[in-house]
């Protein structure tokens, strides 16, 4: 039996590998020209500082399985139930793939920081996103970014997350720990730089995260200030002047930064809603796909035969994404063998 997996990020790749290992044939659809999804934009992973490129390579190697057919540069446009229990997935290149089950692994998209106008992304030259910082790490370009190494860097947490103003109420979960990881990486590259993290809450939920946060303060001299940025402006030297309220001290604070990094959150991928809508799978108000049940029906959807894996249902770290993908593979197997027909 064939399974169509939409999305060649970590979740889709892991599920493809697991399902192929169970003897199924898999069509893995990826809209970009290579697999890995957003992972391709990362340098190192938390908490163990594993190379992101290394993990992508590992995932890629696993796809060299005779049961897996990879369709790159192909975007899934629509899913239709061609016959009871049979699905047809139309691709942008006119191909139609057929499967007994469809796994949605469409992932997430990074919040467009331009929407937080008051932070000046796209206008002030020294305002970049966390994703762009990863690229600077990869290319080792941070020290020479503006001709000389920055002397003071600020990380702004929760950009596009937990923000009523831009209608994103959800927490993206990963930005806190990413900021801690990135701040440590910056410290290693630039021992003299002053580093500040401006946060609302530090949500260090994963194994090793809290320890990393403590280490960031004690060993790496990274300063954490509780308070949300109200606005940023550019001074005559091109530096970024920020206004923040230090909510622990209860005082406003103004600071000049040589580089401001926006910890951009996660939003539902553009394709998720459209694909889910084509098979009447409901979404959460924030656009992520709603599972059949948040406790007992994860990976399942309201539509039998349509499954989910990874961060298309909610912000998720890589550990959870890969675990979720394995769980999805197991759910699909149960569905196809008839041992667990969900309604």
Partner 1 sequence: MELTGKERIWQEYQKEIAGDNYFYARSCIRQTFFPGSEWAYLDILRNKLDKRVTEDPKHTTCTGIGYHTDVVPAETTMTVVARHFALMTEAGCENITPSCITSFGLYTEILDTWEHHPEIEEKIREFLWKATKREFKKPANLAHTSDIIYKFRNEIAALAPHRLRDVHTGRPLRGVDHIGCHYAKMFPAKGIGGAEFPAVLSGLIQAWGGESVDYPERRHCCGFGFRNYLVMANRGFSVANSKKKFESMQAYEPDFIVANCPGCAMFLDKWQYTLSEMEGVTYGQHGFGIPVFTYEELTALVLGYDPWEIGLQMHQVAVEPFLDKIGIAYDPEAKYLNSRGESMGRPACPTYMKVIK
Taking the C-alpha atoms of residue 321 and residue 121, their distance in angstroms, rounded to an integer, is: 29
In the list 218, 236, 296, 343, the residue contacting partner 1 (rule: CB under 8 A) is 236
Nearest CA among 289, 33, 253 for reference residue 299: 289
Q: Could you tell me the CA-to-CA distances from 224 to 62, 98, 160, 233, 324 in Å, in that order?
A: 40, 52, 20, 21, 32
Size of the site for partner 1 (CB under 8 A): 16
Residue 313 near residue 337, CB atoms below 8 Å: no
167 touches partner 1 (CB under 8 A): no
Using CB under 8 A, which of the segments 37-45, 75-83, 141-149, 231-239 binds partner 1? Answer: 231-239
111 touches partner 1 (CB under 8 A): no
Helix/strand/coil for 332: helix
235 touches partner 1 (CB under 8 A): yes
Q: What is the dihedral of CA 54, 58, 64, 69, to 10 degrees?
A: -90
Whole-number minimum distance, CB 238 to partner 1, in Å?
Answer: 8
In the list 49, 57, 98, 114, the residue contacting partner 1 (rule: CB under 8 A) is 114
In the complex with partner 1, the residue whose CB is nearer, 211 or 231, is: 231
125 touches partner 1 (CB under 8 A): yes
Using CB under 8 A, which of the segments 194-202, 208-216, 235-243, 261-269 binds partner 1? Answer: 235-243
Q: What is the dihedral of CA 35, 288, 160, 34, to 10 degrees?
A: 10
In the complex with partner 1, the residue whose CB is nearer, 94 or 165, is: 165
Taking the C-alpha atoms of residue 78 and residue 200, their distance in angstroms, rounded to an integer, is: 40
Region 301-340 residues binding partner 1, contact defined as CB under 8 A? none
118 touches partner 1 (CB under 8 A): yes
117 touches partner 1 (CB under 8 A): yes
253 touches partner 1 (CB under 8 A): no
251 touches partner 1 (CB under 8 A): no
In the complex with partner 1, the residue whose CB is nearer, 166 or 202, is: 166
The number of helices, as runs of H, and strands, as runs of E, in the chain is: 7, 20
In the list 123, 141, 143, 249, the residue contacting partner 1 (rule: CB under 8 A) is 123
241 touches partner 1 (CB under 8 A): yes
Taking the C-alpha atoms of residue 146 and residue 151, their distance in angstroms, rounded to an integer, is: 11
Whole-number minimum distance, CB 65 to partner 1, in Å?
Answer: 45
- Rounded to 5°, the CA angle 210-58-68 comes to 125
Taking the C-alpha atoms of residue 34 and residue 26, their distance in angstroms, rounded to an integer, is: 17
Using CB under 8 A, which of the segments 22-30, 67-75, 117-125, 266-274 binds partner 1? Answer: 117-125
Burial of residue 66 (number of CB atoms within 10 Å: 0-12, 13-18, 19+)? exposed
In the list 21, 85, 122, 252, the residue contacting partner 1 (rule: CB under 8 A) is 122
In the list 32, 75, 81, 234, the residue contacting partner 1 (rule: CB under 8 A) is 234
Give the other-Cβ count within 10 Å of 50's Cβ: 14
Residues near partner 1, by CB under 8 A? 114, 117-118, 120-125, 231, 233-236, 238, 241
């Amino acid at each position: 039996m064939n399974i169509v997996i939409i999305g060649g990020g970590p979740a889709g790749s892991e599920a493809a590998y697991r399902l192929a290992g169970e003897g199924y044939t898999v069509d893995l659809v990826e809209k970009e020209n290579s697999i890995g999804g957003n992972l391709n934009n990362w340098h190192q992973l938390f908490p163990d500082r594993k190379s992101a490129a290394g993990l992508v390579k590992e995932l890629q190697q696993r796809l060299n399985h005779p049961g897996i057919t990879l369709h790159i540069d192909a975007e899934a446009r629509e899913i239709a139930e061609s016959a009871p229990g049979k699905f047809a997935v139309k691709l942008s290149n006119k191909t139609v793939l057929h499967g007994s089950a469809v796994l949605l692994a469409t992932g997430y998209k990074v919040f467009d920081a331009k929407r937080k106008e008051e932070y000046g992304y796209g206008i002030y030259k020294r305002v970049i996103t966390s994703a762009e910082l990863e690229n600077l790490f990869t290319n080792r370009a941070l020290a020479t970014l503006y001709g000389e190494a920055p002397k003071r860097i600020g990380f702004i947490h929760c950009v596009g997350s937990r923000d009523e103003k831009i209608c994103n109420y959800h927490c993206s979960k990963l930005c806190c720990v990413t900021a801690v990881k990135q701040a440590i990486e910056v410290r290693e590259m630039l021992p003299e730089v002053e580093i500040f993290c401006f946060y609302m809450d530090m949500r260090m939920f994963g194994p090793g995260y809290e320890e990393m946060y403590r280490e960031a303060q004690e060993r790496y001299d990274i300063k954490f200030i509780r308070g949300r940025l109200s606005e940023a402006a550019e001074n005559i030297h091109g530096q970024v002047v920020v206004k923040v309220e230090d909510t622990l001290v209860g005082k406003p604070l103004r600071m000049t930064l040589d580089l401001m990094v926006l910890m951009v959150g996660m939003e539902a991928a553009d394709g998720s809603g459209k694909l889910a809508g084509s098979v009447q799978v409901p979404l959460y108000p924030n656009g992520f796909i709603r599972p059949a049940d948040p406790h007992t029906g994860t990976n399942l959807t309201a539509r039998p035969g349509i499954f989910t894996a990874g961060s298309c249902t909610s912000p998720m770290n890589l550990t959870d994404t890969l675990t979720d993908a394995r769980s999805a593979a197991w759910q699909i197997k149960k569905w196809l063998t008839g041992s667990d027909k969900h309604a």
